[in-house]
Amino acid sequence: MDQFSRRIVIGLVLGILLPKLAWAAACTESPTGQQNCEQFTARDNNALATPLPNYLRLKGNNAAAIAVPTPAAGECIFGDTTATTSTDTFALNCKNGTTLNQVVLTAGTTTAGTAPLKFTAGSLLSTVEAGAMEFWNNAFWLTNLAVRRTIVQGQEVLVANETLANSAAETTMYTVSHGANYLKVGKLEDIELVGTVSSNNGAGTNTLTTRVKYAGSTIGTFVLVEALRSGVAWDLHIMTTVRAIGNGTTSIQVHCNFDLNGTSVDNVVNTLATGLNSTTAEATTVTMQWSDADTGNTISIVQGRALSIDDN
């Protein structure tokens, strides 16, 4: 082949191959400024489909377990660190100034779908992995070393006093809301309420009835008898554990105790509440009711909180 012919062949080869190599390694910008990219490891001959609009895809399948390199200042490197094709592990290393692995998430907004980080519910790992965080059964799970445990979540904190005075109407004083199917077997709700009570003596029966309810059904009742009181401290502790779920088949083990300062006898309820419904949005509530509307009958909740604890 003469020199002229060789130049023609070389020109044809470069004209065919160079555009393809450039497409494989580069990003193209759309009219709105979004980037469309394809990336692959040439040595492994990873073939990718024609790119769709507005996405960046990194194809795994390393020839060897190669660690993601240390980035330069102000740089992030995202890469495949394992030598497999179906269970690749990807790592993101960023460097902010001289600090490595400092990744800052975008601030959330009030708009749906804009949370900085969101988990999709799935199955728990068959074998625990140290450092793993998972979301399952309406609970978050963390594994430290070789033990997986749920994260205790605060459900409701009282930020202002609730007071019932000079009224004989049953009044809801505290509410913990639950979405439909929120309750799961083994979910424990721990509620603590504290406050003060004052009452008259001799001007009527002046008893106070406190009811603990789930979905409007009373699961615990306490009666504070008539007595002359002035700002006496009290504490109500409620613990409920779900034993079964379903429509009309939900059962909850209930233990409550109402302690009044200066008395030697604790009011205690310990029972299994059955026939409840966990498939609709319901709430645990605490109501209070004086027998007489008397200016001297006043009860206040000054602090309260509810915790959600799941079975490990």
**For the residues 113-137, what does the mean pLDDT come to?**
90
Half-sphere exposure of 44 (CA within 13 A, CB side): 15
Q: Which amino acid is at 43?
A: R
| pLDDT at 249 exceeding the cut of 90 | yes
pLDDT attached to residue 78: 76
- Residues 224 and 219: their CA atoms lie apart, in Å, by 17
| pLDDT at 111 exceeding the cut of 60 | yes
Identify whether the C-beta of residue 283 lies closer than 8 Å to the C-beta of residue 215: yes
Band (90; pLDDT cuts 50, 70, 90): confident
Token pair recorded at residue 232: 């006496």
pLDDT attached to residue 286: 97
- Residues 64 and 41: their CA atoms lie apart, in Å, by 12
Token pair recorded at residue 231: 């700002």
User: Domains of the chain by range and CATH?
Assistant: 155-309 (2.60.120)
Length of the chain equals 312
- Residues 157 and 138: their CA atoms lie apart, in Å, by 20
Q: Kindly report the pTM of this predicted structure.
A: 0.72
**For the residues 49-53, what does the mean pLDDT come to?**
55
Identify whether the C-beta of residue 265 lies closer than 8 Å to the C-beta of residue 161: no
Band (18; pLDDT cuts 50, 70, 90): very low
